[in-house]
Amino acid sequence: MDAVSASLDDLPLRSDLRGQMPYGAPQAPLPVALNVNENTHPVPEEVADDILDSVAHALREVNRYPDREFTALREGFADYLGHGLTADHIWAGNGSNEVLQHLLQAFGGPGRTAFGFAPTYSMYPLLTRGTGAEYVSGTRGVDYTLSAESAAEQIADAAPDVTFLCAPNNPTGTPLGVDVIEAVYDATDGIVIVDEAYQEFAPRDSRSALTLLPGRERLVVSRTMSKAFAFAGARVGYLAADPALIDALRLVRLPYHLSALTQAAATAALRHAPEMLAMVDEIVGQRDRISATLDALGYHPYESWTNFVLFSDVDDPAATWQALYEQGVLIRDIGLPRSLRVTAGTEAESTAFLDALASLGPGGAHGVTEERG
Ligand SMILES: *Cc1c(COP(=O)(O)O)cnc(C)c1O
């Protein structure tokens, strides 16, 4: 085709989508990729074999539509989560992003608002606006923490239809107490979504929002297999909530939205939850080593209950990101002042990052100031 291709401006695009930017974490084939909080450990060999058998089995019936209710998978998630949950309390989708989209399709949409405490997961505004709802950002306190009083006050003022609480928070790693979740729930008549994408990396004795579900029919706890389960490429996310709320999601999902292959793979992986999660402790160890070393190098690492570390006191984040890139290490510049975010990888990957950063000297790399004549 040699005709000049059209631009977005030439298309009859929805006016509320004009000027928006798509999600765009760089996907570069670098030796050390620590930029999107994946679990960098591969699925263990024996588990991979069992998953493959299940997928092969499902493939023989792939001429038929899959179980629309993905019953076996919902039972698997209920067993995994515990807390007395049954399949009736569970929903799943192609990544927790799709699960969040279902929630917004049911409870957001035109004329409604969704709310998150900035900085938080960059997909909340994109998913919200995708349904035609408005996204409102609240604020956090010192070191990106959020107190029950401040959160409840902001929610009472904004009166959103949907509130996102990312616990622990991405991109900052910040823990969120259940007292904050309770206070927010009491301050709104809307849906409260607690996104526990990183819960498995939190201290073992920390309380999950799952413990708050009984008697709170507007509360949703979402999880993903992308991080702790090393299953990002399979695209499987899920949530737990009151069975009535699950019925609301049936109104907006596409029929048969979870393929038979996805259901088979995820159900098999869940049967091996302990082996799949075996690397979590190792990753938590690397996370804590990264934080300690960053501190020793003169940076400010924020407290993290996740598989990544946000750190500040970077003189020139763009120049440092670029200098690491040139050494084959990909991390994330999430646009926070003087800050960068790195995922905890294997021991070797984490060392490669720390060595590369140390080689840049105090404060990281500095941009070349252009000479002006
Ligand atoms: C990674 C992440 C997700 C998970 O996304 P998937 O679609 O399940 O891969 C959800 N929420 C947050 C805050 C995340 O960081």
Residue 198: pLDDT band (50, 70, 90) is: very high
Atom of ligand 1 nearest to the CA of 232: 9
Question: For the CA atoms of 225, 231, 237, 241, what is the dihedral angle to 10 degrees?
Answer: -20
CA 173–ligand 1 middle distance (angstroms)? 13
The pTM (predicted TM-score) of the whole model is 0.95
Q: Tell me: the pLDDT tens digits for 85-115?
A: 999 999 999 999 999 999 999 999 999 999 9
Q: Give the span between the Cα atoms of 307 and 325, in whole angstroms.
A: 20
| 25: pLDDT strictly greater than 80 | no
CA 172–ligand 1 middle distance (angstroms)? 14
CA 240–ligand 1 middle distance (angstroms)? 15
- Say whether both 76 and 173 belong to one domain: yes
Which of residues 271, 286, 312 is at a domain's end? 271
Q: Indicate which residue's Cα is closest to atom 2 of ligand 1.
A: 197
Residue 277: pLDDT band (50, 70, 90) is: confident
Let me know: does 145 contact 282? Beta carbons within 8 Å. Answer: no
CA 96–ligand 1 middle distance (angstroms)? 6
- In a domain, residue 368? The reply is no
Q: Tell me: the pLDDT tens digits for 31-59?
A: 999 999 999 998 999 999 999 999 999 99
- Say whether both 183 and 280 belong to one domain: no
- In a domain, residue 317? The reply is yes
- In a domain, residue 209? The reply is yes
- Say whether both 108 and 209 belong to one domain: yes
- What is the pLDDT at residue 373? 37
- Say whether both 29 and 165 belong to one domain: no
Per DSSP, 109 falls in state: S
* The pair of three-digit structure tokens given for residue 126, joined into one six-digit string: 């994109």
CA 21–ligand 1 middle distance (angstroms)? 18
Enclosing domain of residue 300: 25-44+275-358
- Say whether both 196 and 310 belong to one domain: no
Atom of ligand 1 nearest to the CA of 171: 15
Q: Which of 214, 205, 202, 353 is nearest to 283 (CA)?
A: 202
Atom of ligand 1 nearest to the CA of 96: 8
CA 235–ligand 1 middle distance (angstroms)? 10
Kindly report the CATH number assigned to the domain that includes residue 343.
3.90.1150.10
Q: Give the span between the Cα atoms of 129 and 105, in whole angstroms.
A: 10
- Say whether both 223 and 287 belong to one domain: no
Q: Indicate which residue's Cα is closest to atom 11 of ligand 1.
A: 197
- What is the pLDDT at residue 320? 98
Q: What angle do CA 122, 293, 120 make, to 5 degrees?
A: 10
Let me know: does 242 contact 84? Beta carbons within 8 Å. Answer: no
Mean per-residue pLDDT of the chain: 95
CA atoms within 13 A on the CB side of 368: 5
Mutate which of 40, 144, 172, 224 for ligand 1? The one with the most ligand atoms within 8 Å of its CB, which is: 224
Atom of ligand 1 nearest to the CA of 224: 8
| 3: pLDDT strictly greater than 80 | no
- Say whether both 58 and 35 belong to one domain: no
Which of residues 229, 245, 271 is at a domain's end? 271
Q: Give the span between the Cα atoms of 85 and 75, in whole angstroms.
A: 9
Residue 2: pLDDT band (50, 70, 90) is: low
- In a domain, residue 13? The reply is no
Q: Indicate which residue's Cα is closest to atom 3 of ligand 1.
A: 197
Q: What angle do CA 262, 263, 264 make, to 5 degrees?
A: 90
Q: Which of 206, 246, 200 is nearest to 226 (CA)?
A: 200
| 369: pLDDT strictly greater than 60 | no
118: left (phi over 0), alpha (psi -120 to 50) or beta: beta
- Say whether both 296 and 253 belong to one domain: no
How confident is the model over 321-332, as a mean pLDDT? 96
Q: Which of 313, 292, 308, 302 is nearest to 360 (CA)?
A: 313
- What is the pLDDT at residue 372? 42
- In a domain, residue 331? The reply is yes
How confident is the model over 240-269, as a mean pLDDT? 98
| 160: pLDDT strictly greater than 60 | yes
Let me know: does 115 contact 109? Beta carbons within 8 Å. Answer: no
- Say whether both 134 and 29 belong to one domain: no
- Say whether both 209 and 290 belong to one domain: no
Which of residues 246, 271, 296 is at a domain's end? 271
Determine the distance from the C-alpha atom of residue 244 to the mean position of all C-alpha atoms in its chain, rounded to a whole number. Answer: 25
- Say whether both 243 and 314 belong to one domain: no
The DSSP secondary structure of 123-179, one letter per residue, reads HHHHHHHHTT-EEEEE---GGG---HHHHHHHHHHH--SEEEEESSPTTT-----HH
Helices (H) and strands (E) in the chain, counts: 12, 12
DSSP lists the bridge partners of residue 224 as 237
Total domains present in the chain:
2
Q: Which of 159, 135, 118, 115 is nearest to 16 (CA)?
A: 135
Q: Indicate which residue's Cα is closest to atom 6 of ligand 1.
A: 95
Mutate which of 40, 121, 199 for ligand 1? The one with the most ligand atoms within 8 Å of its CB, which is: 121
How confident is the model over 182-197, as a mean pLDDT? 98
* The pair of three-digit structure tokens given for residue 261, joined into one six-digit string: 């292959």
Residue 1: pLDDT band (50, 70, 90) is: low
Atom of ligand 1 nearest to the CA of 169: 13
How confident is the model over 334-338, as a mean pLDDT? 95
Q: Indicate which residue's Cα is closest to atom 4 of ligand 1.
A: 96
CA 335–ligand 1 middle distance (angstroms)? 19
How confident is the model over 267-285, as a mean pLDDT? 93
- Ligand 1, CB cutoff 6 Å, lining residues: 37, 95-97, 121, 166, 170, 195, 197, 224, 226-227, 232, 237
Q: What angle do CA 333, 289, 178 make, to 5 degrees?
A: 75
Q: Which of 39, 37, 120, 30 is nearest to 341 (CA)?
A: 37
